[in-house]
Amino acid sequence: QLTMSLNSPTLLNEENAQGTKRKAECLESLLQSPSSIQDNPLQQLQLASQEVLEKAKKSGRSKCPRCNSSRMFYCYTCFVPVETVPTKEIPTVKLPLKIDIIKHPNETDGKSTAVHAKLLAPDDVTIYKYPCIPEYEEKRHEIALIFPGPNSVSVKDIAFHLQKYTKKGVCPSGDDCSREPVLKQAKIEPEAEKNPNECISSSRSEGGRLKKIIFIDSTWNQTNKIITDERLQGLLQIELKTRKTCFWRHQKGKPDTYLSTIEAIYYFLVDYHQEILKESYKGQYDNLLFFFSFMYTLIKDARCCAGKE
């Protein structure tokens, strides 16, 4: 009897009517811009036109031009857009410093937002898969690691704390500081070599000569394996201001202040721009969230119309 009642024409008609009503309400709410802006904080970003992504969404999955794998929007293993997303229509962001992303080997490539940074700031972002990471020891005076902890400092205090590394020196006792570094050194700007006094006076605006920032791309439960690696010991650690994530794959049991990798990169750069470079922020790095914001809206709308929200 229970089965019959569940499959009765009357009940099915009621369910269909409720489903239609729910979809209509969802569509109406999506068309109302004030409500949509309130539900989607990313809509306030100053982004390049996402029309190319809209077209790619309608055409479906496409081939990666390098490995021929079927992907949506971009290939997360080759770090390039797919054939239906012309590279010239993807914005490029110039960053004020270099970024290294250390990716946990068990982190699923397709679920990571780290690739967004490489796609949108290809000249300034490098992704490494742990344990294959650089030796940072000789550059400790110009590198910082984004990671919360008891010894972490705020972005505004970067210059002060990096100066300590310069005063103390960056080579452990007994090491030959004149030896060649393991990896090729970063390019030194010609202006920095002209006058020592200029270099000192400009160190404040450069964040205490900060040249590179490191991010760890992994779940919080996997982070310990990387953060305890001896190659990352002794680096200045930076803790970001508390912000809420918009990531649709939020980790269960973790607070909503745990950001995705691309969010962490974006918010760090906004803070760095304002508190270290001392310049007003006018959306210079907003396009780092070009893919993230589009996918956020896409998934949120799909969940709404499926009745999950």
pLDDT at 112 over 50: yes
Report the C-alpha gap between 29 and 136 in whole angstroms. 50
Contact 59, 72 (CB under 8 A): no
Q: What is the pTM of this model?
A: 0.74
pLDDT confidence tier of residue 184, bands split at 50, 70 and 90: very low
Report the C-alpha gap between 95 and 198 in whole angstroms. 22
pLDDT at 175 over 60: no
Helix, strand, coil percentages (3-state) for the chain, rounded to 5, are 45, 10, 45
What pLDDT is attached to residue 23? 47
Quick one: average pLDDT of 4-28? 45
Report the C-alpha gap between 147 and 153 in whole angstroms. 10
pLDDT confidence tier of residue 108, bands split at 50, 70 and 90: confident
In our burial notation (b when 16+ CB lie closer than 10 A, e otherwise), range 149-181 reads eeebeebeebbebbeebeeeebeeeeeeeeeee
- The set of residues, in sequence order, having a beta carbon less than 8 Å from that of 252 and lying 6+ positions away, is none
Contact 64, 78 (CB under 8 A): yes
**Phi-psi sector, 79: left (phi>0), alpha (psi -120 to 50), beta:** left
Quick one: average pLDDT of 172-194? 39
Length of the chain as a residue count: 309
What pLDDT is attached to residue 265? 98
The closest of 226, 239, 300, 227 to 267, measured between CA atoms, is 239
Report the C-alpha gap between 185 and 139 in whole angstroms. 9
Report the C-alpha gap between 48 and 119 in whole angstroms. 14
What pLDDT is attached to residue 308? 56
What pLDDT is attached to residue 42? 81
pLDDT at 5 over 90: no
What pLDDT is attached to residue 27? 41
pLDDT in tens, 24-80: 444 444 434 333 444 566 878 999 999 999 999 999 999 999 999 999 999 999 999
Quick one: average pLDDT of 142-150? 93
Quick one: average pLDDT of 285-299? 94
pLDDT at 99 over 50: yes
Quick one: average pLDDT of 101-126? 94
Report the C-alpha gap between 39 and 42 in whole angstroms. 9
What pLDDT is attached to residue 155? 95
Kind of pairing, strands 70-71 and 62-63?
A: antiparallel
Sheet with 236-238: list strands edge to edge.
125-129, 98-103, 212-217, 143-146, 236-238
